[in-house]
Amino acid sequence: MQYLSNSRRIARALKPLALFETDVRFASHVVDSTQWQNHRSPGLMLLRSSFSSEAKLVEDPTEAVKELHGKILDSVNVKRSMPPNALLWSLIENCRKEDDVSFLFDALQNLRRFRLSNLRIHDNFNCNLCRQVAKTCVRVGAINHGKRALWKHNVHGLTPSVASAHHLLSYALEHKNANLMDEVMKLLKANDLPLQPGTADLVFRICHETDSWDLLAKYSKKFCKAGVKLRKTTFDVWMEFAAKRGDTESLWKVDKLRSETYTQHTLSAAFSCAKGFLLEHKPEEAAAVIQIICQAYPDEKKSALETEFKKLVNEWPVDVLKHQNEEDKKAVAASLKSDIPAMVNALANSGLRVSVDLDELNKNEALVS
């Protein structure tokens, strides 16, 4: 009877939190597997599906997670003692799906409450644990839980960090999800987390992969205003994106910004500049840029040069034409069809051997049509 009374009391105390913590499914002591099934609430299932960006069927948690979750709750709610740290770490490691993460967050909330009320510990859990929680959320695809790890004020004792945000941004990059990236960036701002070079690198890559130029323009201003020193790889992505769009004005602005931090071009940046000159009908200048970078490039990495040349001939013209107005496509196609061979000839005249199959350029349907 006392057990049931305690369960009801804890459930009543936690009921208001269910509106905000929609993934919390249990608020009392450990029970056996049959009882876990009986505690599945249709109301919580509905709240959970509405909270998620995509409604999913609620799965049963894994046995290991249920057992570890039960031991932790038994320790803090029945024995009134702090469980060994190994239990929580084991719970994190054993999460295999989103429902497991719901149990993890419930355990964290109970542990935080116990630390605060019984041990008078007001600090959050250590940063390493918080990062692992965010990493686990991403690993199992529990992205809504992962976003909670970025909240400055939360009931789970988690400390938001840029490292946790990077796990979510990496997921957004892998799944080419610009909307998730935008949400994470808003969470960074709302929770006073600083922008870092690694953040910019991920954001720019996501914008490039999702063809979100306007979004990149928006966040590039924010990073520059915040004084973030962009990496060479970030400039590479930015310049490549501008070249793909045929936007020479933006390309030269980015290159000028790059030159304020880095004196030499990377291979990717040099080829982007060459593409910019080709778009301006200056094949000799395009050849000069490539010649300089080729002379500086070590012999053992010459294969990378061949890759860039192939991309310039086979892929880049198609990308450029995709972003042109219909009335400009024919003129741009004709220009590229003549200027790219002119650039290759200029390189050959300078004594640089270039392995480029110009027949592929002539066969390119985007340039022929």
Instruction: Quickly list DSSP for 120-186.
Output: ---S---HHHHHHHHHHHHHHT-HHHHHHTT-SS-TT-PPP-HHHHHHHHHHHHHTT-HHHHHHHHH
- Residue 317 in this model has a pLDDT that exceeds 60: yes
Tell me the pLDDT band of 366, cut-offs 50, 70 and 90.
Answer: low
Which pLDDT score, from 0 to 100, does residue 99 have?
95
- Residue 146 in this model has a pLDDT that exceeds 50: yes
C-alpha–C-alpha distance, residues 297 and 152, integer Å:
47
Which pLDDT score, from 0 to 100, does residue 354 have?
76
Q: What is the largest CA-CA distance in the chain?
A: 94
Better pLDDT: 6 or 210: 210
The predicted-structure confidence for 242-291, as pLDDT tens digits, reads as follows 999 999 999 999 999 999 999 999 999 999 999 999 999 999 999 999 99
Other beta carbons within 10 Å of 19: 8
Three-state SS string over 261-276 comes to CCCCCCHHHHHHHHHH
Better pLDDT: 239 or 299: 239
In a domain, residue 131? The reply is yes
In a domain, residue 80? The reply is yes
DSSP one-letter code for 24 = -
- Residue 367 in this model has a pLDDT that exceeds 50: yes
- Residue 33 in this model has a pLDDT that exceeds 50: no
Which pLDDT score, from 0 to 100, does residue 353 have?
77
Number of H helices, E strands in the chain: 21, 0
In a domain, residue 122? The reply is yes
Which pLDDT score, from 0 to 100, does residue 34 have?
31
Residue 245, both tokens: 């769009």
Q: The domain containing residue 359 runs over which residues?
A: 238-369
C-alpha–C-alpha distance, residues 231 and 343, integer Å:
29
Tell me the pLDDT band of 179, cut-offs 50, 70 and 90.
Answer: very high
Lowest mean pLDDT segment, chosen from 27-41, 81-95, 200-214? 27-41
Which pLDDT score, from 0 to 100, does residue 59 have?
57
The predicted-structure confidence for 73-88, as pLDDT tens digits, reads as follows 999 999 999 999 999 9
In a domain, residue 120? The reply is yes
What percentage of the chain reaches a pLDDT higher than 90? Answer: 70
C-alpha–C-alpha distance, residues 186 and 188, integer Å:
5
- Residue 131 in this model has a pLDDT that exceeds 70: yes
- Residue 189 in this model has a pLDDT that exceeds 70: yes
Which pLDDT score, from 0 to 100, does residue 303 have?
82
- Residue 314 in this model has a pLDDT that exceeds 50: yes
H or E stretch at 305 = helix 302-310
C-alpha–C-alpha distance, residues 180 and 202, integer Å:
12
Which pLDDT score, from 0 to 100, does residue 31 have?
35
In a domain, residue 166? The reply is no
In a domain, residue 230? The reply is no
- Residue 49 in this model has a pLDDT that exceeds 50: no
Q: Mean pLDDT over residues 128-140, rounded?
A: 96
Tell me the pLDDT band of 357, cut-offs 50, 70 and 90.
Answer: confident
- Residue 3 in this model has a pLDDT that exceeds 60: no
Q: Which of 119, 136, 153 is the last residue of a domain?
A: 136
- Residue 331 in this model has a pLDDT that exceeds 60: yes
Q: Mean pLDDT over residues 158-167, rounded?
A: 96
Better pLDDT: 79 or 25: 79
Which pLDDT score, from 0 to 100, does residue 17 have?
38
- Residue 61 in this model has a pLDDT that exceeds 90: no
Nearest to 287 by CA among 348, 241, 338: 348
Count: domains in the chain: 2
Which pLDDT score, from 0 to 100, does residue 263 have?
93
- Residue 355 in this model has a pLDDT that exceeds 90: no
Which pLDDT score, from 0 to 100, does residue 358 have?
76
Tell me the pLDDT band of 352, cut-offs 50, 70 and 90.
Answer: confident
In a domain, residue 177? The reply is no
- Residue 133 in this model has a pLDDT that exceeds 50: yes
- Residue 224 in this model has a pLDDT that exceeds 90: yes
In a domain, residue 275? The reply is yes
Other beta carbons within 10 Å of 253: 14
- Residue 23 in this model has a pLDDT that exceeds 60: no
Helix (H, G, I), strand (E, B) or coil at 212: coil
Mean pLDDT across the chain: 85
Nearest to 110 by CA among 151, 79, 147, 64: 79
Q: Which of 83, 104, 136 is the last residue of a domain?
A: 136
Q: Which of 83, 105, 136 is the last residue of a domain?
A: 136
Exposure letters 295-329 (e unless 16+ CB within 10 A, then b): eeeeeeeeeebeebbeebbeebbebbbeeeeeeeb
Which pLDDT score, from 0 to 100, does residue 8 have?
41
Which pLDDT score, from 0 to 100, does residue 350 have?
87
